[in-house]
Each structure stands twice: as C-alpha cells, then as structure tokens.
Amino acid sequence: MKGSRKRIINMALILGTLAVVLVIGISDNSIGEAWEAVKRMSLAWVILAVVCYCCYLMMDAVAIHFFLKRQGYRVSFLRLCFISVVGQYYSNITPGASGGQPMQIYYLYQDRVPTAIATSAIAMRFFCFQFMLSFFAALFWILFGGFINEHVGAQKWILIVGFCYNAVMVTLVTSLALCTPMIKKLIAFAVKIAAKFHWVKKPHELSEKANQAVEVFHDSLTSYSKRPWDMLVQLIIGGLQLIALMSVIYCIYRGLGLVEESYIHLVALHVMEFISAAYAPLPGASGASEGVFSMYFGKIFPDGYSFAALLLWRFFTYYISLIMGVVVVMIQGVREGKTFKEVTREGDEVLEASSKKES
C-alpha cells in the first residue's frame, strides 16, 4: 500500500473517532453543556496547559541533545525541537506510534548524525520515558492505591495489560543493547531469507553494514554503563517529560473552575490512563484513549463538565500535536522550497522504507 494511502486511512480513522465522540455528545445534549463550560474556562489555565505540552516536547529535544553531545555530535536545540514536533506528529498519525522514531532518525541523519547514533539517541529517550512511566505508575499505585482502585474499578485488567506491554517495550530496548550476538544472528537469518528470494542484490554487503550499525548502536548504548550519572540525567529528563504531559489534566480541571481533587491525585490517575491506552494499535490510540479517559475520570468531573473535559484533554494532549506538526512541516517546506504535499510525500517515502526494513 502506498504511503500516502496509509496516511489518508490513518487520518480518516482519527477524524472518524472524533466524529463519533461528537455525535455521542450531540445525541445526549452534552455538546451544549461542554461549550458553555469551555466558554467559562480560565484563559490562564488554557495557556498553562499549552505550556505543559510544549515542555513535554522540549524535554524530548533536551534528552536527544544531551545524548548526542555526550557522543560528540552537535545539532542545534531549535532543530531538535523541530525534530521532536515532527516525531510526535508522525507518531500520532501512524498505528502504534510507529512513524515517529523513523522520521526523527531520518532528520538526524540529514544533520550528519550517523544512523546508528541517531537510533541510539531515540532508543535511549524511548527507554527512559517508558521506564519512568512504569516507575511512576507503580509508585502512584502504591501510594494512592485506594484512590486509583476507586476510579479504575472493574477495568483494572486494562491497566494490568498496559503495565505488561510497557514492561515488554522496556525489555526489548534493553535486549538490543545487551544481546548483540543474538541480534546479529537474526540479521544473518533475515538476510539469508531475503537473498534466497532475490529480495536483495548484495546480501554480504548488506549483512556487513547491518552488523556495523549494530556494533555502533551497542557501543553507544552500553557506554552509559560506564557513565551512570549520564543515565541518571536521562531518567530525570524522561521523568520531567512525563510529568509535564500528565500535568495537562490538572490545568483542565482547574480551568473549568473545579478545586476538589489534588494535583498529585489527578496526575496519578492520568498516568494510569496513559499506560492503559498506550498499547492500542490505532493512530494516537484513538477510541481507546477516549474510552479509558471516560471510565477513569467519570467520577472526577461532574455532570456538565465531563464531556468538556474529554474534548479539552484530547485537544491539549493529542490534536495540538497534529496542528503543530502541520505548521512546522509547512514552515520546513517553505524553507526548502517545497510544497506541503512534497514534504509529506517525502515523509511517506521514509515511513514506507522503514516498514520494508522491518518486514
């Protein structure tokens, strides 16, 4: 399937989910109440919600910048912010957030960062964020188990599956760093199969390049075992990035004029929502995110506010990334003398090449 066709299907799924949510809101007259609640929302808290999301993106850039600097590569922080926004955009329009990392690696390669080093930087950032997600989720469940169980209720199994999925992701990235011989054997096997079906013209050359990339990737990641303070810094950055995103729900809650629940309780419940919906395969976890949010936060927001909270939360944690992504891609196109269609086609080609490598 062509990359552009995939993008159209993914966007149709995203817009379709939004349409279903709006139809539900209209059918039970929640849309009118939501609009009234939004009109009363404090502008200061709206701005703070945007700031929280921007901090989330900036922490992504900070993590990559720190990693590259320690490896001897320099990319401007503004450029890394652009790469973070583009990565988030493509993550949110592809199933399972599969498109963000290849695009970030591609743009880093354009800035003369070797593919293996770029992959290591993205893998380290991913590992630290996922590790801190599991850490905070476990910590909050221990500290606020009663509060969380009250709001999660019978849907606890969704949360448990989310924990398991996240643990697998963390283990997978760790395995890439520690199990180099196994990875090389898998590469050799894959190249052998590809050569048998004449899918590659120079299997030996391909195998050599892949093994070299694995060595660089392994050395880049394992070097952190000799610099534990660097790993600690990366984990702190990942934790700050997570907390910035999780703080959006508190801004919405206070912006709607509600004060009963504490900041830490709302952040804890948001972490549980995030880890519960993260494994959904649709772009941006569409459908799953809205459903889990409604279940977990159903008792937090009173009647007349719940639908507004859902729409605002989804905007400030998801749709805003689509808007920002389109804007920066257009700006990039203008700077390179390309149209928006040409830039997105280039992105489709990168994702198509990435999916072929994975298959």
User: What is the reported pLDDT for 358?
Assistant: 44
At 231, is the pLDDT very low, low, confident or very high (cuts 50, 70, 90)? Answer: confident
Angle CA(193)–CA(198)–CA(199) in degrees, nearest 5? 75
pLDDT band at residue 247 using 50, 70 and 90 as cut-offs: very high
Q: Which are the contacts of 192, defined by CB distance < 8 A and separation ≥ 6?
A: 203
Which DSSP category does 224 fall into?
Answer: G
Yes or no: say if 356 and 190 are a contact pair by the CB < 8 Å rule: no
Domain boundaries defined on the chain: 3-322
Helix runs in 93-155, H state only: 100-110, 115-143, 145-152
pLDDT of residue 11: 56
279 has a pLDDT exceeding 60: yes
Pick from 81, 90, 62: which is nearest to 240 by CA? 62
Q: Can you read off the two tokens belonging to residue 234?
A: 């990366």
pLDDT, average across residues 103-128: 85
Kindly report the pTM of this predicted structure.
0.78
Q: Is 94:100 a contact under the CB 8 Å cutoff?
A: yes
Closest C-alpha to 247, from 52, 31, 107, 110 = 52
Of the ranges 21-25, 49-53, 274-278, 344-348, which one carries the lowest mean pLDDT score? 21-25
With a pLDDT cut of 70, the percent of the chain lying above it is 69
Helix, strand, coil percent content, the chain, rounded in steps of 5: 85, 0, 15
Per DSSP, 157 falls in state H
* Total residue length of the chain: 359
Comparing 69 with 218, the larger pLDDT belongs to 69
Cβ count within 10 A of residue 145: 11
Longest dimension (CA), the chain: 66
pLDDT value, residue 186: 72
